[in-house]
Structure formats: C-alpha cells, structure tokens
A = this chain, B = another copy of it.
Amino acid sequence: MQIAIVLYDGFTALDAVGPYDTLSRLPGAETVFVAERTGPVRNDSGTLALVADSTLEEVTRPDIVVVPGGPEENVRLAQEPLGEWLRTVDAHTTWTTSVCTGSLLLAGAGLLKGRRATSHWLTLEHLPGYGAEPTGERVVFDGKYVTAAGVSSGIDMGLALLGRIGGDEAAQTVQLLIEYDPQPPYDAGSPQKAPAAIVAWMRERSRNMAPGERSA
C-alpha cells in the first residue's frame, strides 16, 4: 500500500507529519513524500524543509494521497500540475485525504463536488464555492474522501483512517506507540472554546492579511 504525502512551497509542517507518523506505521505501508521537484520543500514560515523524494510524475498509482494545508491562496495550485496530478491519481486511490486548507486544494481540483468536507476553521466558508458542503466536524469521511480540520487534526485523521484500513487494534497500537493521550494546557483549540477576543482577532487578521502573509 503506497501512501503519497504531497509537499509544496508554504505547506504547514504538522499538517503533513501528523498523518505521516500515524499512517506510515501501518504494517506494509510504503510512504513517499512527493512534489513537483525532488529535494527540500520549505514550509509556511521558511524555517523548516522536508525533502520530497519523488516527483509527481514518478508516483502514478498511490493508494492513499494526503494533501497538507498552507496559506489559503495555495488553492491556486489546483490550477497547476499538482491539481492535474491530484485528478489523475484520484481515479485509482483507495483514499484521497487532506488536512487543514489542503481540502481547498482538493476542492479546487474538483474532487469534492457534492461531498461533505472540512477545513481550517478560518477557511471553511470557502468550501461551498467549490461545490463542497462544509461541516464543523474534526474529521469528515465521505466515501473515500477524508478531510481534517486545522493542522493538528491530521493526527486524529491518521488514526481514524488507520482503524478503517488495519482495524481497531492496529490503530490503538499506533496510538499507544506515539503516546497520543492529549492533555492540552488550555481549552482553546476551536473557535467555540477559545476566548472570544482571540477568535475575533484571528478573524480580523485573516481578513486583512495580504496574500502571502496568510498561513495556518
């Protein structure tokens, strides 16, 4: 079973590594980081680079595709070779997945039409523009399409998907291995729970940021 994790300039690291360090532990999985070109790919802040070991052209039949998020305007990539690749490989995948604004990329490539999906809470409202139906859930399964909310939700998605593929025991084993017994020091991880002033500030900042400044 081949798992292809997509990288592109400005991706958010945890969006990619959460699903990676869960799904890649599935017995028999072969995981590959893939991008337009091989070599280092820089993240949203530019201070981290993950290496793409294969080009899009080299990975033609992945069983699972994972698309991480990044700055909102990366949805433009859906019109570039990455979007074309997503459409092509999606014809044969068992699961097509995303974390955070990665769902905008899937949606922009036309893959979420009529599907229930999620995204980072700040970008949920953009899904209907691509024919997808936004939900407030953290991990959304609709057929073979699995979308996760912001950044850290990729860990929950990875474990949930692992359970569907390998069974509960395989997923529980990985959960124990990565000691995923979360104890966040605050209860501020969703717009419903965070202090209202912080939610308002982030919405305002998101509206006012120039393209290229945004990242989640």
Residues of chain A having any CB pair with chain B under 8 Å: 12-14, 17-18, 20-21, 24, 30-33, 40, 45, 47-51, 53, 100, 120-121, 138-139, 149-153, 155-156, 159-160, 163, 168-169, 171-173, 175-186, 188-191, 193-195, 198-199, 201-202, 216
Cα of A173 to Cα of B194 in the assembled complex, Å: 8
Cα of A152 to Cα of B173 in the assembled complex, Å: 14
Sorted from nearest, which 9 A-B pairs have the closest CB atoms? A150-B179, A181-B189, A182-B182, A172-B188, A151-B178, A49-B51, A14-B21, A180-B189, A17-B17
Chain B residues whose C-beta falls within 8 Å of the C-beta of A163 in the assembled complex: 185-186
User: What's the minimum C-beta distance from A181 to chain B, rounded to whole angstroms?
Assistant: 3
Cα of A201 to Cα of B174 in the assembled complex, Å: 12
Residue of B nearest to A17 (CB): B17
User: What's the minimum C-beta distance from A105 to chain B, rounded to whole angstroms?
Assistant: 17
**B185 and A160 form a contact (CB under 8 A):** yes
| Contacting residue for A176 out of B180, B185, B188, CB 8 A | B188
**A173 and B185 form a contact (CB under 8 A):** no
Chain B residues whose C-beta falls within 8 Å of the C-beta of A179 in the assembled complex: 100, 120-121, 138, 149-153, 189-190
Chain B residues whose C-beta falls within 8 Å of the C-beta of A32 in the assembled complex: 47
Residue of B nearest to A181 (CB): B189
Known: A184-B159, A184-B182. A176 touches B194 (CB 8 A): yes
Cα of A48 to Cα of B173 in the assembled complex, Å: 21
**B47 and A31 form a contact (CB under 8 A):** yes
Given contacts A31-B48, A33-B47, A33-B48, 16 further A-B contacts (CB under 8 A): A14-B20, A14-B155, A24-B48, A30-B47, A31-B47, A49-B50, A120-B179, A139-B183, A151-B177, A153-B181, A155-B182, A175-B188, A176-B188, A176-B198, A176-B199, A181-B190
